[in-house]
Every structure is written in structure tokens, then in C-alpha cells.
Amino acid sequence: MTETVAEIVAAHRAGTTSPAKTVARSFRRIRDHGDPAIFISLREESEATAEAEALTARGDTSLPLYGVPVAVKDNIDVAGLATTAACPAFSYNAKQDANTVARLRAAGAIVIGKTNLDQFATGLVGVRSPYGIPKNPVRSDLVPGGSSSGSAVAVSAGLVPLSLGTDTAGSGRVPAMLNNIVGLKPSLGLMSTFGVVPACRTLDCVSIFSLNVDDAVTALNVMAGLDAADPFSRDRTVGPLTEFPAGVRIGVPRKGQLVFFGDRESEKSYGDAVARLVALGATIVEINLEPFYETARLLYEGPWVAERYLVIRDLLASNPDAIHPVTREITIAGARLSAADTFAALYRLEGLRYTARRTFESIDAMVLPTAPTAYTVEQVLANPIELNSRNGTYTNFVNLLDLCGLAVPAAMRADGIPFGITLLAPAGHDAQLASIGRVFHADTKLAVGANGLKQPPLAPLSKALAADEVAIAVVGAHLSGMALNHELLALGGRLIAAADTTPDYKLYALRGTVPPKPGMLRVEAGGAAIAVEVWALPTKAFGAFVAAVPSPLSIGTVHLADGSSVKGFLAEAAAIDGARDITHFGGWRAFMAAQTKSA
């Protein structure tokens, strides 16, 4: 079975199937699945098939999404199809593709259709649409999650391997948990929002649903990039995937700060997920979650509701009955907010952002439940606003604080309810979260989606330097798991390989350094090979890293045993006077282990 993006692309390249056959399979599965609430509109199958055949005729099999069928949330423009935002009275015919859709197509993807959503992307439940409620394929009585309900269900049910959602308050994460799939919420501005109907324009981003993390990252790399047509676009890069970072510091809330609304099974599943991260090599650090809760309350109790009101105020004035009653109730509050309210909230938000930055100085990432529990359609329809709000407990603050997030499945409960976690980090650390999340998800050995499919083995990572990376050899406190390794991780560094120097170096334990550091010096005689690690740093980060290296250390050229040379840590000769010669240990890690053993 070829179900993941990677498997489908590999099959197309090998000729065991074709893009046209894969597109036909998607349409056949949509018909067989028989849920008319998933898609608001579909392309003509003949048109999509012709596009797939033309792609094959061009012969460019190297395209990263060669022949992959994708679904697009119906608040994102696809040329030739209507954009409704789940409101027929708002509908318009899109004249051109959104930037993200254009990039997907340029990479070889074939758009199948537009998916259902909570109207105007306002909601986390997936039940606020005149086009019906998509049935959750994992457990049919549960809400599908929103607002990107149709996009998540389409991937979980196996109708397409990849889909686009949007995420302002959690719409790319909550549906991922409830459908047992991956939801990637990128850093704000990393992907353009040109051609996207705004919810809160200052906070919106396009999100990605897939069966595994690697597929989501493939799509992210395709769609990321500065867009002059989007003033909110930022010049950010994704960065490469790495092995699971040794000793990565994961923040978890203090005891008693998490809420599960009485759901003991979800509470246990979260504890099990944290234990799994520890077993994989993470270090757990307690954090104070209260400032994040306070930020979350700002989203719907503060002036950002006015952004939602701006989008539909004309329709509210001319045809209020065209808007879903719950959506109308939420957004109309935006008309009552004053400029003074807005500035007061902005001032408070800036203080909370400062607190968040300080929190992330002690951790590399945070792990939270994606949602505290799961509700049925019946429960949500009976109590639509409160239960929706509960779904956003751990998601509403994320974009306000300019964080990136990755939602991954963590458990399938005995009652058939999926549970997931979300990894969070400051903007720009998308690849770091993916590097953690892909290993975590694989380690669960959970089936993916709703059809019981086994996860494919993790693909080996490339060790080659990317065009925008610089190699640097580290010898001491920056080694994996050592005291300063987090500095490399924070700058987007990735481990390429363990290596040895040529046999003409000496290693010394420097005096008075905190944390303890070694100094390595190249010598004419009496040297030995010293164990180092070669890391790749983004070129943009290299200068900042070098500038922060304190005397008596410096960055020079380090010669490796394989004949190559890279930039790396060396020591000033004057610092060696009186320092202990530890060359015979062969490296800093062996020396530190010996110190611990003798202590």
C-alpha cells in the first residue's frame, strides 16, 4: 500500500503506479467513503487526471511532491474553484491560486478539492458549517475538530495523503489529535497567507496535515519562503531534520497546572508521553504555565475578536442570518471593543511575550496535551461555546506568543479515543520540533490515521551539508548532551557526525571556566587524535555563534582524520599555561566520565 507522501512519490518514480492512477484512487475513495460533508467542492476528475497525465509527460520525476493528491481548506484560494469559508453568501470564484497552493502545484502536487471548515475558521470543533459535519473516521460520535475539519478527516480517512488547513487558535492541531494524524503549525510568516481568507490576519498561518512528520516537513519545505505579496511574510528558513537531540530540554507544567476536565485517561496518556520523551533522551524541566493561560484568554476575551469582525462586518450588516449563529455570537463582540481596549491588551501581551522568552531560555521545547479531552458531536451541539473553548486550552496562546507547534499522535485509548501531544518552541525552530516529533511518533508504533495503517520506518537523514549551512567541530561543552549543546540547537544546528581529528592535537582542561571547558591546540609533536562532533549551523546563525565564543577559546580550522577540514573550537596558546593535559583521555566526554566516576 502506498499511503504516505514519500511512498507515493517513490512509487511514481519507480513506475509501479502513475500520478493519474493515484489521482483516480483518491476520487474513487472519496466516492466509496460516502461522506458529503468532507469536501465543499471537488474538481472535475477528468481535469485533475489530465493534469496528472501532463505532469507525467513532462518527465520531471525529481519534483518533491510528484503526483501527490492534496486537499485544500476552503478558506484558501484554488484557481477555478469557489472559496466559501463555509458561508455560501460570502462565496467568490478564485482567479488565482494562493501562494501556498501555487507552490504545491509547482512541486508536483495535484489539488483534488476544497474541504469543509468551521465557518470563517472560527471554532475548534468542526460542527459550525452549513455544509454539514464531517464524520470523525476514528470514532464516529466524536467531533472531527476544527476549524480545519474536512482537511484533517480527508487525510485520516486515506482520501488524500496531504492537506492544507489554517491555524489561528489551534485549527491545525486539535483536528490532528482527534483524527490520529500529524498537524504542523509553522512559524508565523514562514508560509505566505496570500490568498487566504483572514480569521485574525496578524495571527493566521497555513497549516499542514499528514500521516507522519516527514511528509509534513516535505510539504513545509515546498511552501516556505518570503512572499512580496504578503506583508506578514517573513524571511525564515525551515532548516534540516536531525537525529533526536541528546539531552534536549523539554518543559512540562508544574504539578497541578494541567487541566483535563476530569478525563483521567487523557491525563494518564500525557504522563506516558512525557515518560516516552525521557526514555528517548529528553531532560524534563518544570515550567510555569500560568502566563501562557493568561495569554490564551486574551485571544477571545481581548481585541483580537475585532479582527474576525473586520472580515465579515459587511455581511453581518447586510445579511446576518447568512452567518452561523455561534460564529455570529462570537464575532459580533468585536464591534464593541475600543482602541483603548486594544492598546491595553497589546501592552499586556508584550509583557507576556517577555515572560515566554524567559521561559524558553531554560528549555528547548515545551510539550503539552494537544487538547485536554475529546467531546462528542452531541455534547458540543448542546454546549457549543464552552466545550469549544476547552479544546483551545493548550492552543490559543501559541500564535499570540509567536511560537511554532507540531501536533503528533501519542496514544490510542482503550475507548477508541485518540490522544496527542503538541511540541512548542519559539518561531524559527520548526525543524527542531520535527526532529523530536518524528522520533517520538515512530517510537509509539501507533497505526496512522483511521485505517489501521502501520507507520513506515523512519527514513535515514541526510548527513550532507545544505547550501545554507556551515560545518563546525565542537570538542567540549557543546557536544551532544553537554552543558552548552542547547546553544547549537537554539540556532538550528544539527549533528552531522562524530569524528576524530588528525593525530597532532593536545587537549587541556582549562582553569576557571563555567561550565567546565577544554582547550584544544594543534601541536608539532606529542599530539593525538581527539574525539569531536561535527555540527551543521545555518549560515545566518554562524556569525552570531562565533561572536559569542568567549576568550580564551576561538574558532579556527580543525583538521579531521578523514582528510577534511572544518571550522572548530581551538584555544589560545596562553591559556594552556598551567592547564591540565588530558590528551590521553582522547576527548572531553571520556574525561568528564572519568571525573564523574572518581567523584
Question: Which residues have a catalytic role annotated?
Answer: 73, 147, 171
d(CA 365, CA 518): 28
DSSP character string of 420-458: EEEEEEETT-HHHHHHHHHHHHHHHTPPBTTTTBPPPPP
C-alpha grid cell for residue 536?
A: 551543521
The C-alpha R_g of the chain, in whole angstroms, comes to: 25
Backbone angles phi, psi at 446, to 5 degrees: -70, 145
d(CA 309, CA 337): 10
Unique residue bearing C-alpha cell 496535515:
209
Cβ atoms within 10 A of the Cβ of 505, count?
21
Which residues 6+ apart lie within 8 Å of 468 measured at CB? 237, 538, 539, 540
Relative to beta strand 283-287, strand 249-253 is: parallel
Omega before 552 cis (within 30°)?
Answer: yes
Which residues 6+ apart lie within 8 Å of 574 measured at CB? 552
Q: In terms of Cα–Cα distance, which of 209, 110, 196, 197 is closest to 164?
A: 209
Q: Going edge to edge, which strands form the sheet with 505-509? A: 518-522, 505-509, 580-581
C-alpha grid cell for residue 29?
A: 475513495
Backbone angles phi, psi at 482, to 5 degrees: -85, 175
DSSP 8-state class, residue 146 = S
C-alpha grid cell for residue 197?
A: 481568507
For residues 560 and 500, the answer to whether their CB atoms sit within 8 Å is yes
